[in-house]
Amino acid sequence: MTTKRAAIVDVDGTVVDSNYLHVVTWWEAFRQAGRHDPCGRSTGPWASAAAT
């Protein structure tokens, strides 16, 4: 009998509510890159479109 292996990748929160971890990870990546935005406001050319 052969052993079967599998991996489950959940990127949309269906299996586990991982949205919080995505936010924390992105904030840490921006912090390490020297980009601080404590209020979570978007900056850049897309910011005005996202606000509408």
pLDDT in tens, 4-33: 999 888 777 788 888 788 788 888 888 888
Domain layout of the chain by residue ranges: 7-35
pTM for the structure as a whole: 0.44
More confident residue, 41 or 26: 26
Burial 7-23 (b: 16+ CB within 10 A, else e): eeeeeeeeeeeeeeeee
Supply 33's token pair. 């890159």
d(CA 33, CA 43): 15
